[in-house]
Amino acid sequence: MANGTADIAAPILQLSNLSMTFESAHVTVVALQDIGIRIGRGEFVTVVGPSGCGKSTLFNILAGLAEPDAGAEIRYHGETKRALELLGQVAFMPQRDLLLPWRRVVDNAILPLQVEGMPRAAALKRAEPLFGEFGLSGFERHYPQQLSGGMRQRVALMRTFLFERDLTLLDEPFGALDALTRSLMQRWLLEVWQKHQRTILFITHDVEEAIFLGDRVLVMTARPGRIKLVLEVPLARPRPSSMLTSPEFIALKRQVLAAIEEESVKSFQQTAAD
């Protein structure tokens, strides 16, 4: 792998046959269909797909918050698990930052440590050296309401990183940020990832972001969500932002867009025929 540490031969997570159907009184929605994934240790894998294709649903399952349809196989560290058994085993950052308005920045960041039963003083000591790295120095005692969108997102990321687990799930963490802040955050995230050697699964609906960040890009189709394409990103790291305009990058982008487009046309025709 480009990172030099990823090891796909001993995957940390393997999914096969994973489907998820939502049934309510009137409608049945197949959110995910036959998902198969292998994530190697230390890998940065991005998942890209149109909104509504089931990306957040996939993360909810991996965080242990929802059980997929019967027949799915989830292997975490080689052991077969039910989704519920993953509760507390995976560091999950949901799409909204969900910072608690009554807790200061520090206290929001250490929330998972306190949930684990660590006393506040010890948790603060653990968190302290990270504030600089997460660009939050001087804001420790602010309340979330006083921060910009980008800073709130960094607090949420810090909270996720302090919950040290072998797999980290990030659901569109930069989706609501302006383009400039977003590109700064992307490069910053890569630095943090390389330093902390985490395994990251990262959701986005932005094709450029998916390629720029990932060792591999999983392209999902519109509903029902399936893995349409798995694309290796052979671009060297560290990746400068000038890479975004390189011919290699553009070729990769074209490949992803073509896969998505083919699907969109299909689903568009399907809807039109209904």
Ligand X SMILES: Nc1ncnc2c1ncn2[C@@H]1O[C@H](COP(=O)(O)OP(=O)(O)O)[C@@H](O)[C@H]1O
- Under rule CB under 6 A, residue 223 binds ligand X: yes
Our finding on whether 143 is near other proteins (CB under 8 A) is yes
Asked if residue 118 binds ligand X (CB under 6 A), the reply is: no
Residue 85 near other proteins by CB under 8 A: no
The reply on whether position 169 binds ligand X by CB under 6 A is: no
The token pair at 157 is 């990321």
Our CA angle for 234, 235, 236, nearest 5°, is: 115
Residue number with CB closer to other proteins (118 or 229):
118
Q: Candidates 5-13, 46-54, 76-84, 261-269 — which segment interacts with ligand X by CB under 6 A?
A: 46-54
Q: Looking at beta carbons, which residue is closest to Mg ion?
A: 56
DSSP assignments along 52-78, one per residue: TSSHHHHHHHHTTSS---TT-EEEETT
Interface region with ligand X, contact rule CB under 6 A, candidates 55-63, 68-76, 148-156, 235-243: 55-63
Q: Residue 112 binds what, of ligand X, Mg ion, other proteins, none (CB under 5 to 8 Å, by partner type)?
A: other proteins
- Residues written for the chain: 274
In whole angstroms, give the CA distance from residue 198 to residue 83. 21
Whether 1 contacts 14, CB under 8 Å = no
Q: What is the DSSP letter of 172?
A: S
- The item of other proteins, ligand X, Mg ion, none sharing an interface with residue 31, based on CB under 5 to 8 Å by kind, is ligand X
According to CB under 8 A, which one of 42, 68, 112, 225 is a site residue for other proteins? 112
Q: Is 34 exposed, middle or buried (0-12, 13-18, 19+ CB in 10 A)?
A: middle
Encoded amino acid at 71, one letter: G
By the 8 A CB rule, do 1 and 215 touch? yes
51 is an interface residue for ligand X by CB under 6 A: yes
Nearer to other proteins, 24 or 145 (CB): 145
- Sheet of strand 28-41, all strands in order from the earlier edge strand to the far edge: 28-41, 7-23, 73-76, 79-81
Binding residues (CB under 8 A) for other proteins: these are 60, 63-65, 87-88, 90, 92, 94, 96, 98, 100-102, 111-112, 114-116, 143, 145, 163
Binding residues (CB under 6 A) for ligand X: these are 22, 29, 31, 49, 51-57, 223
